[in-house]
Amino acid sequence: MKTNVYNIPCVRGHEAEIEAAAQVIREGGLVAIPTETVYGLGADALNEAAVAAIYEAKGRPSDNPLIIHVPGAHWLERYCVDVPQAAYDLAEKFWPGPLTMILPRKDNVPDRTTGGLNTVGVRCPDHPVTLAIIEAAGVPIAAPSANTSGRPSCTNAQDVLEDMNGKIPAIVDGGPCAVGVESTILDLTVTPPQLLRPGGMPLEALEAVVGEIAVDHAVTGQLKPGEKPRAPGMKYRHYAPHAKVTVLTGDGAETAAYIRAHITPGGGVICFDEYVKLFPDCVTHPLGAEGDKAEQARRVFDALREFDHTDVTEIYAQCPDDTGLGLAIGNRLKKAAGFHVVNLKREREHPMKIIGITGGTGAGKTSALNVLAEMNVEILDCDVIYHQLIQTSQALRTALTERFGDVFCADGLDRQKLGNLVFQNPDALAQLNAITMGFVEEEVHARMKQAEAAHRIGVAIDAIGLLESDVRYECDVLVAITAPAEVRCKRIMAREGISEEYAWNRVKAQKDERYFKENCDYVLPNDSTEDVFRARAVELFTKVLNP
Ligand code: TXA
Ligand code: MG
């Protein structure tokens, strides 16, 4: 199929082309249409065959419903029932504009369009050319974003052509999109209304009209395997470039410094304009000035798409805060990253201290933790958490089984079998660590939140690999417990009944004392008696907890 691109920047003088596009729609064809948010892949929403063709061209799963585009609130009653007053209030204030409302649907909207749901998403886009096409077609236009399913959305006609060339008859080029992220989706069938997708209309603006709005879990976090979001589309991996993406939240200067410390030359960086000069050896894509979220929204999809034209394999992205358009920009970046987010500044409601404890085996971390527990600090021992998750987390078991096959036996993990698979194979070992660290970090976060809600004075996180994990950035202080190698060796031998040679090998395989000293804020040497060590620990932790 040949794909024709019609350049229609405005309505005046282009009436004939607009009529031609409307005719394609009326006849059941597909037309890519410009909107203020992103380009849409449009068809007659009431024509099942035409709607089926949209799913086909996008490669979209059929349970993911489409939204319908109408010329104004006067069409709401045609396709929806029980329309609440709030819908009219919102339309009055924000239509045409980047707001989609979920409302109970009438039977004339086909199942194919709504994915079988008894609700339908309705929006009036703010683009004169597309509004004219809808009016001329005389039917609502169903339109998902015009990208191939899973790819970043298209904010200009060229990007649409890249994804849809040869698959659809027509693309209307109405210029670059003014907003750049998709519409905000608000479910008005529940009380309070629920935000299903943050987008071009800020949450705060909607709340000013309808009061409290609940935010769906899928907006801010990753769904657990099997969890169903209210907007079916939120469950799919989205907007993802081919490279692995890591998102940084927190102060711009701090996140830029983090990227500099972690990126390898030739890596990709999506950063605020101010920081581009820090990355001369990288492929940078500026997102706009740090304070200019409107510009960041316009550029975010471009940034994600452009890296697919390079051979970059890792991308670090700076992320704005969650207010205004920041919620939508951050959501798109985080989804592209599969929610791999490093939070450099955790906003705490309550002044709880987070103490990171690390050091090699046998140095005395457990004694230090005992002191902290007596001081009423919550202890999060990552090793213990890992063993608990192996027993209790079906998701972790599934992830391990998917990668390594059936490594479980009647009473839990078959350590020997797993060990044989990974210890000779560095790639496999790295994957094992990445899988388990991901789950352990998530659990650590959950328990930190609980400790905060319970107003604990502090949390101590204990992990041998703390300094290599992103959890280190959550810690207010990092404390290394150190002891001479021969002392550690003796302790492990006594504790675990192992040979001297085996104990030495373990000690030698770990990072040395200097590494821990260089990377931590404090060092607690455990080179004398237990009493001396306890006294030192009490003194240090008292100071840390009561600055
Ligand atoms: O800005 C936009 O909204 C763009 C432009 C083209 O208008 N359209 C767009 O459509 O982003 P799409 O299909 O890419 O995203 C629509 C989202 C999907 O996640 C879908 O699951 C959700 O809306 N959705 C559609 N109908 C729904 C319904 N009845 N209930 C809940 N979620 C719905
Ligand atoms: Mg989409």
Q: Which residues sit with their C-beta closer than 6 Å to ligand 1?
A: 35, 37-38, 40, 64-67, 98, 100, 102, 114, 117, 119-121, 123, 125, 143-145, 182-183, 185, 196, 230-234
The predicted model scores a pTM of 0.75
Ligand nearest to the CA of residue 39, numbered in listed order: 1
Ligand nearest to the CA of residue 195, numbered in listed order: 1
Instruction: Output the CA 145–ligand 2 centroid distance in Å.
Output: 4
Instruction: Output the CA 41–ligand 2 centroid distance in Å.
Output: 10
Identify which of 58, 159, 181, 185 to mutate to test ligand 1's pocket (most ligand atoms within 8 A of the CB).
Answer: 185
- Separation CA 11–CA 6 (nearest Å): 12
Burial (0-12, 13-18, 19+ Cβ within 10 Å), 276 = middle
- Separation CA 223–CA 229 (nearest Å): 8
CA distances, 447 to each of 270, 382, 388, 435 (Å): 31, 11, 13, 19
For residue 195, the cross-strand partners are 186, 215
Give the CA radius of gyration of the chain.
28
Q: Which residues 6+ apart lie within 8 Å of 252 measured at CB?
A: 272, 274, 275, 290, 318
| SS3 category, 39 | coil
Query: Cβ distance 270 to 316 under 8 Å?
Result: yes
Ligand nearest to the CA of residue 65, numbered in listed order: 1
Task: Encode the chain (547 residues) as per-residue pLDDT tens digits.
Answer: 999 999 999 999 999 999 999 999 999 999 999 999 999 999 999 999 999 999 999 999 888 999 999 999 999 999 999 999 999 999 999 999 999 999 999 999 999 999 999 999 999 999 999 999 999 999 999 999 999 998 899 999 999 999 999 999 999 999 999 999 999 999 999 999 999 999 999 999 999 999 999 998 788 776 655 567 788 877 666 777 888 999 999 999 999 999 998 999 999 999 999 999 999 999 999 999 999 999 999 999 999 999 988 999 999 999 999 999 999 999 999 989 888 888 887 656 668 999 999 999 999 999 999 999 999 999 999 999 999 999 999 999 998 998 999 999 887 889 888 888 887 888 888 788 878 888 898 899 899 989 988 999 999 999 988 888 778 878 889 999 999 999 999 999 998 888 999 889 888 888 888 899 888 999 999 999 999 999 999 999 999 998 7
Residue located nearest, by CA, to atom 32 of ligand 1: 231
Instruction: Output the CA 4–ligand 1 centroid distance in Å.
Output: 26
